[in-house]
Amino acid sequence: MSNSYPRPKLFPLLIIAVGLVWLLNNLGFTRLDLKEIFIIYWPLLLVIWGIDILGWFLPGNDERKAGTGTLITGLILVGLGLAIAARNLGYLDFDFSRLWSVFWAVLLILLGVAILRRPSMGSGSTRLAVMSGVEMKNPGWKLSEGNWLALMGGVELDLTVAEIPPGEITLNLTAIMGGIDIRVPRGLSVDCRGTAILGGVDCLRQSDGGIVASNHVKREGDAECGSSLVINALAVLGGIEIKE
């Protein structure tokens, strides 16, 4: 399963730096206490993570479009990391345990709201991938309207080799600590609405994810195709990708 988040660029450099300090300590050139440094400065890992995510918005980085949810997540990680580091250094006095208790309660409320806003599952079939994988890649398999749930599992659908009936087809996708990948033909009309909570939804290279995010991507297909695909996607601690 592909990941909707940007691949970190600063973490490898940090790992190399830690390895060099460790090596110099072992060779007797330095006497740095890595354990003490980690206890104080570990929040900078959040800052680095946030900077990596914000790197999507630098000029020239147009390989894949990122949404507001990704931007907000990057800013929150940077701000939270700096705040915790300031507390560890004695510049800020704040009980972050209260913040976390509020955070999880708000997150649970937002999850309930996202489920309520989601369209009903409808009358189609329901396919499950619970701690397992489901693959539909054989040429000629028949696509039908329905619901797909990946719970700590994975689902892969290749619509480029499927028999797609004429008219509008609705797929309701839910990934909870799992992933769903769908490959669609180039000429097919696609209308995708996605919601991500601590996860990511990537529809035709328009990605959004993070703490809470939502996006809507619509692509008009070829008139002679005669079919259109409507996707309602919900990713919770997981990822959903629709690609060509």
How far apart CA 60 and CA 57 sit, in angstroms, is 8
Q: How far apart are CA 239 and CA 244, in angstroms?
A: 17
pLDDT digits (tens, 9 = 90+) for 99-142: 777 777 877 887 777 777 666 655 578 888 888 899 999 999 99
The predicted pLDDT at position 65 comes to 61
For residue 13, the model assigns a pLDDT of 77
Across the chain, mean pLDDT equals 82
For residues 217-237, average pLDDT: 88
Q: Which of the pair, 143 or 52, is modelled with greater confidence?
A: 143
21 and 84 in one domain?
yes
Q: Indicate if the pLDDT at residue 33 is higher than 90.
A: no
Q: Is residue 24 one of the residues assigned to a domain?
A: yes
Q: In whole angstroms, how far apart are CA 58 and each of 50, 51, 199?
A: 13, 11, 22
The segment with the largest mean pLDDT, out of 6-20, 22-36, 162-176, is 162-176
Better-scored residue on pLDDT, 174 or 12: 174
Q: Is residue 132 part of a domain?
A: yes
Specify whether the CB–CB gap between 113 and 89 falls below 8 A.
Answer: no
How confident is the model at residue 198, as a pLDDT? 82
> Is 134 a domain residue?
yes
pLDDT at 18 exceeding the cut of 50: yes
In a domain, 108, yes or no: no
Residue 3 within a domain = no
Per 3-state DSSP, the chain is made up of helix, strand and coil in percentages (nearest 5) of: 35, 35, 30
Mean pLDDT of all residues in 38-55: 83
Whether 40 is covered by a domain: the verdict is yes
**pLDDT value at 8 more than 90:** no
For 31, the domain range is 10-94
Residues 160 and 52 in one domain: no
pTM exceeding 0.75: no
Q: What is the pLDDT of residue 122?
A: 57
pLDDT at 230: 93
CA distances from 90 to 83, 122, 130, 171 (A): 11, 55, 46, 52
Residue 89 within any structural domain of the chain: yes
**Residue 106 maps to a domain:** no
Per-residue pLDDT band at 90 (split at 50, 70, 90):
confident
Domain total for the chain? 2
Q: What beta strand segments (E) does 56-205 contain?
A: 65-66, 125-130, 133-136, 146-151, 154-158, 167-176, 179-183, 189-203
Residue 4: the pLDDT is 40
Query: Each residue of 171-221: pLDDT tens digit?
Result: 999 998 899 999 999 889 999 998 888 888 888 888 777 777 888 899 988
**Per-residue three-class SS string for 157-186:** EEHHHCECCCEEEEEEEEEECCEEEEECCC
Helix axis angle, 44-54 relative to 10-27, nearest 10°?
150
